[in-house]
Structures are given as C-alpha cells and as structure tokens.
Amino acid sequence: MTLSNPKQYYSRFLKGHEGKLHFAAHSHHFWPDVTRDAQIAYWDDCAALSDEKWGKIFSETIPKTQKHIAKILNLKDHEQIVLAPNTHELSTRLLSLFLGKKDLKILTTTNEFHSWRRQFLRLSEIPEIKIHQVNSNNVPQDRATFLNEMKSELAKNYDVVFLSQVFFDSGAALTDEEIQYLVEATPASTLFVLDGYHGFAAIPCDLAKLEGRIFYLGGGYKYAQGGEGIGFMVVPKGQWRPAYTGWYADHAHLSQAPGSQVGYSDNGMAFMGATQDPSGFYRFNAVWDLFDTEKMNVTNIHQYVLGLQKTFLKHLPASFLKAWSLKPLYSPELSWHGHFLTFEAPSIEIAEKCQQTLSSHHILIDRRGTRLRFGFGLYQNEADVSELTGRLTKLA
Ligand SMILES: Cc1ncc(COP(=O)(O)O)c(C=O)c1O
C-alpha cells in the first residue's frame, strides 16, 4: 500500500528541513514534490498564453479544483464552490450580504480563529451589531454542555451562526452528527457557516446531508497541501448578492454591455472577488491528482496520522510534561480529533520558553498563547515520532 511510505512524496521539503523534526503540519503542511512541477506548469501557461490563460484557468483549472474539493467533502454540485485567495475574504464577503441591515445578530463561540475573533470584536463596536459567543473552552472535556448551549441559543433567530468544525486552539473536532444536530436546531432563515479549515482534508467529512444548507470554509495551506492562495467556500444555492463584490462574480457575462443592475453568477461564483494569483489552484490540483492516482484519500490519510498520534502518546515521557507543567487538552476520543495535539502551559512565558527550548533542539512545533501544538502529517513516519519522543525524554 502506498501509505506505507508517504514520505517519498516530500523529498524537497524534507531536504529543506534536514536534521529538524517538523511537527507543525497543522500550521504549515509540507508540500509534495509535484507542487513544484505544478508551479512551473503555471508559469509555462502564462508564457504560452498570456491573457488567454484565464480561459484555460476558468474552464479547466478552477473546475478541477472545485471537483477535488467536492469529492473530499462528498458534495454533488462542484459549481457551488467559490475560490478566493483566503477564507477571510470569503467570510467578509458573506457578511457584506447584511450591509445596511439594522440589528444584525451573530452567534459564534469563544474559540474562533484570530481573523474572526478580531472581526467580531471590531464589529461589536457598532451598536447595531449584536454578537453572542457561546463558551467553547471546555469542548475537549465536555462537549455535551457546549452542544446544549449552542442549541438553545440557535433557537433565538440569529442572522448568522459561525463556528469551527475543529477548534484551532485545542484540536477538538465536531463530528458530522454533532454538526447536523446543530444545523437542525437552526431556523432556516439563519445562515449557518462552518469554518472547516482544520478539518478539511484532515478528518473525513461527509457534507452530503448538509449540501445546500450550510456555508463551509476551508483552504489549501494546511492539510490540503497546496500552499497559500486557495481559500474556498461551499455555498448553498440561491440568488446571492454580496455588497462587497468584484468583477469575477459575474465573469461569464463580461462581454455583455454593462447594465444598471449589478449581475451575479447564479452559482457559488457570486461570491468571487477579483484578480488573484491562481498558481495555488495548480498546486492543489497536482496534489489531489497524485493522491487519486495513488489511492490516497482523507480516510486513509487520517488513519495514518492517527497511528502517528497514538505512537506519540504511547511514548510521550510524563517527565517532559511534568518539567514544563503541561496539561494535555485533547479528548480521549482521539479517533475524532484534529491532526494536532495541544498542551497548555501555566503561563505564556513558560510556553514560549518551552517552544524555544524545543526549537534549539531542532524540534519545530507551534504555539497559540499558552498552548503548544504538536502537528502530525504524511511527511513523518513512526521512526520520526520515536526520534521525537526520544529527544523529549532526553530534554526532560
Ligand atoms: C480555524 C482557521 N480558520 C481559518 C484559517 C486561515 O484563514 P485564511 O484563509 O483567511 O488565512 C486558519 C489558519 O490557521 C484557521 O486555523
């Protein structure tokens, strides 16, 4: 089976990090070697086609990217997937649907990714916007309380609900059933937005039952392994008219005389913006073409990563955790958890010192405030995990 040696696909990034143990796959996954050829193929298309390249990109490259995303999420309608340089752009475009509305009500959680946390904090300065955050700090230990609180809030007719599929600061992941439970508790008039960035292409996710009901955001620079420049949003069918709009939102009608009405595509493209570097789509397509050929999919990739996580936890020295007073934050239900394991330090200073000490011993992880994150991916194998726990034992 190919997954017996997935490191073979990452020779260039591995060479770039020789001697280092890169356990931050959740932050920046290594790119397979095929992405380099894809980047060059993009350049060659630019040289061969100049302006005409956009014809190829819109008719071949983008549909291929959409189809790969649809396959990963088990969606039927790839045309409802819109692409952008990042998810922040798409989520702000989504919010612009409400521009001018009085009394906008948003429901979210206390543990959303920085862009949203900042955005909500800033929006809450506007008197007409009301934002309620359900406490999700304890999701790793007690998901029932969180789900109940979300459910009772959801009944209150919010305009938008925004929450993570996998929380970025713990790795705790909602299951497809839990997401469905929350969606069913949501009035049809509320837009339901799931930030899937830490779930997409990491944990198996089947959105078929929710297709046409929820917005789902994800992107390329983590587990999808295509690097920066690919954000996407799955959009329910509808006549969407975001106020923040660019010329790609009605690309198909560009050659017609401009009317007095602003036209929009009748699919996900209605949320598209303007000119962007499309090389990320080439890289993403190359990765998932390769994985298709090699019969690699999110289910067997997840099993592989889960195996690495289990080995890590089995050999993780208690002395290391004790030395830095680290508290594990993952739930015992590892089989449904993000691809990183989080440990909480008693203070930012201790967390920082711990990360620096690991880095000086060539162990690369990342940190969010007091939380240290160890991320696992296809470019590591069991021997690397043993090397990691060995070095942690010596360090402790
Ligand atoms: C939960 C989550 N959402 C979104 C993002 C990235 O968003 P963007 O594509 O806007 O940079 C990240 C990046 O780490 C994330 O952790």
Residue with tokens 């039927």: 76
Q: Ligand 1 centroid to 52 CA: how many Å?
A: 32
Mutation probe of ligand 1 site: the residue of 83, 87, 284 with most atoms within 8 A of C-beta: 87
User: Which tens digit of pLDDT belongs to each residue from 340-358?
Assistant: 999 999 999 999 999 999 9
Write out pLDDT tens, residues 91-136. Answer: 999 999 999 999 999 999 999 999 999 999 999 999 999 999 999 9
- 3 state DSSP class of 338: coil
pLDDT (average), residues 277-297? 98
Q: What ligand 1 atom has the least distance to the C-alpha of 166?
A: 1
Work out whether the CA dihedral 236, 238, 242, 245 comes out positive or negative: positive
- Between the CA of 197 and the centroid of ligand 1 the distance, in Å, is 6
H or E element that contains 162: strand 160-164
For residue 314, the surrounding DSSP H or E stretch is helix 298-315
Give the residue whose CA is nearest to atom 16 of ligand 1. 168
| Domain spans of the chain, in order of start | 2-30+298-395, 38-290
**Cross-strand partners of 373:** 342, 366
Rounded distance between C-alpha atoms, residue 90 and residue 248, angstroms: 13
Residue 234's DSSP bridge partners are 81, 216
Query: If you average pLDDT over residues 296-317, what whole number do you get?
Result: 97
User: Using one digit for the tens of pLDDT, what is the confidence trace for 156-211?
Assistant: 999 999 999 999 999 999 999 999 999 999 999 999 999 999 999 999 999 999 99
Alpha carbon distances (Å) from 380 to 275, 306, 385: 36, 12, 7
| Dist CA 259 CA 33 (whole Å) | 47
> Average pLDDT of 352-375?
97
By three-state DSSP, how is residue 328 classified? strand
Q: What is the C-alpha separation between 68 and 75, in angstroms, rounded?
A: 10
pLDDT of 75 reads 98
The CATH-assigned architecture of domain 38-290 is 3-Layer(aba) Sandwich (3.40)
Residue 162 CA: distances (Å) to CA of 3, 107, 176, 324: 35, 6, 16, 35
The mean per-residue pLDDT over the stretch 278-303 comes to 98
* Whether the predicted pLDDT of 231 surpasses 90: yes
pLDDT at 326: 97
Q: Which atom of ligand 1 is nearest to the CA of 89?
A: 10
Q: Closest ligand 1 atom to the C-alpha of 85?
A: 9
pTM for this predicted structure: 0.97
What number does the ligand 1 atom closest to the CA of 164 have?
1
What pLDDT is recorded for position 1? 43
Q: Tell me the CA–centroid distance for residue 49 and ligand 1, in Å.
A: 33
Provide the mean pLDDT of the chain: 96
Ligand 1 atom with the smallest distance to the CA of 91 is 10
pLDDT over 70 (residue 336): yes
> What size, in residues, is the chain?
396
Mutational pocket test of ligand 1: of 82, 83, 113, the residue with most ligand atoms within 8 Å of the beta carbon? 113
Q: Whose C-alpha lies nearest to ligand 1, atom 7?
A: 87
Q: Which fold has domain 2-30+298-395?
A: Aspartate Aminotransferase, domain 1 (3.90.1150)
- Residue 12 burial by CB count (10 A; 0-12/13-18/19+): exposed, middle or buried? middle
Query: Which pLDDT score is estimated for 2?
Result: 53
Residue-level pLDDT at 334 = 85
How sure is the predictor about 255, in pLDDT bands with cuts at 50, 70 and 90?
Answer: confident
Q: If pLDDT is split at 50, 70 and 90, which confidence band does 15 have?
A: very high
Question: Which protein residue has the closest C-alpha to ligand 1 atom 14?
Answer: 27
Residue 258 has pLDDT above 80, yes or no: no
Instruction: Answer whether residue 51 shows pLDDT above 70.
Output: yes
